[in-house]
Amino acid sequence: MTDAVAWLDCSSGISGDMVLGALHSLGVVDVREVARQLPLDVDVEISDVRRAGLAATRVQVRPKADQPHRHLAEVLEIVGRADLDEAVRQSASDVFERLARAEGAVHGVGPETVEFHEVGAVDAIVDVVAGCVGLHALAADVVVSPIALGAGTTRSQHGVLPVPAPAVLGLLADSRLVGFSGEADVEMATPTGVALAAAFATGSGGMPAMSVTKIGLGAGGRDRPQQPNVLRVVTGTLASAPGGSEWRLLEANVDDLDPRLWPVVLDRLLAAGAADAWLAPIVMKKGRPAHTLVALARDDFVDDVATAIFAESSTIGLRWSSVGKRELDRDWVHVDVGGQPVRVKVARLGGKVVNASPEFDDVSRAAGALGQPVKAVLSAAIAAAHAALS
């Protein structure tokens, strides 16, 4: 992770307009200016409101005329015609492709045939594009808290749907984000908001140990007295935890777990806040083959990661130790492979690029869309990244 960090507090949910409100209040995006760059006829209203007593920013995007239903290609064409930085364009396309995959899976059709209703409307397009502009402007690693999803039912173009909405659950399944019901019997997380969080998240969990610089609050449409209906975006720089090393190595020897569960265990540890998690084969007493389960975590995530180890594995004990850790400066670039967006993590030493690693999930998805071998798309993404960075 880089020193700059932004924590999204989604304890009251997340939606596209809540993201815009928080980013606008931080001063990293001018939503009206972004809307003007899009070939859409909309009004943008920005107001100061209160939610359960907290001051927050409310952003509302309203079309000036009725809007048609749009397919993914039409939405991507709108994004492509806008005067945007290429990184923003790629991120916005990624968000809409995530939405199309989730909606397609819900209805049993391919992403390209999904007919967008809510997410194809102009307010969702402005939400996504302006959200990507602001999140890129933060120039920070994005850590997303567990997301309050809500409960009950909600009404859509398809009729009454259960909450969490099926597309929201699909988006969560396609990411490492964590969701929970929350206390309100309403929809608290929308597909647009979750897709934005999933596209930019570099970590999931509680607020990191950080020095806080700014706090942005974006308001949702409801004012619930029992809980402020706001998304908080907290920015700052990572700080070492007081009282010693900020990194811990947690280990457990396991010889009785069904091996089919190991991929799930590792994913759960990462979702709980581990910076890395892995297995090492060992031989225990009486010659029994086993594995050492290892997780690397910052001090403030140790309890959550330990809880996940006990819950997901069969161990009844673990050990931990303090370790040092040196990290290279990292950021992201977005490249195009055959019209498919691929994120590439770039590591620098003294300002010089020493490694460019494509995000494998993006590579795999692009390979499937293009009908090409994964290894070919991986090589193309690496070459495109080095060309962009040279």
Same domain, 230 and 272: no
Q: Which domain holds residue 286?
A: 247-323
pLDDT of residue 330: 82
Domain boundary pick from 204, 238, 272: 238
Same domain, 197 and 136: yes
Distance CA 81, CA 67 (A): 18
Same domain, 183 and 62: yes
Domain boundary pick from 206, 238, 270: 238
The β-bridge partners of 254 are 291
Q: How much of the chain is in helix, strand and coil states, percent to nearest 5?
A: 35, 35, 30
Distance CA 30, CA 33 (A): 5
Same domain, 193 and 283: no
pLDDT of residue 348: 87
Same domain, 365 and 304: no
Omega prior to 164 cis, within 30 of 0:
yes
Same domain, 33 and 176: yes
Distance CA 36, CA 82 (A): 9
Strand pairing category for 289-298 and 276-283:
antiparallel
Same domain, 196 and 232: yes
Same domain, 208 and 345: no
Domain boundary pick from 173, 206, 238: 238
In this structure, what token pair is assigned to residue 25? 């209040």
Distance CA 32, CA 160 (A): 33
Same domain, 258 and 191: no
pLDDT by residue for the chain (390 residues), tens only, comes to: 457 899 999 999 999 999 999 999 999 999 999 999 998 889 999 999 999 999 999 999 988 877 677 888 889 999 998 989 999 999 999 999 999 999 888 778 777 777 665 555 788 899 999 999 999 999 998 999 999 999 887 776 666 888 898 999 999 998 878 999 877 789 999 999 999 999 999 888 888 888 999 999 999 999 988 889 999 999 999 875 444 457 899 999 999 999 999 999 999 999 999 999 999 999 988 888 999 999 999 888 999 999 999 999 999 999 998 888 888 888 888 999 999 999 999 988 877 889 999 999 899 999 999 999 999 999 999 999 999 887
Domains: count for the chain: 3
Same domain, 158 and 253: no
Same domain, 87 and 13: yes
Looking up residue 303, the CATH number of its domain turns out to be 3.30.70.1380
Same domain, 374 and 352: yes
pLDDT of residue 244: 46
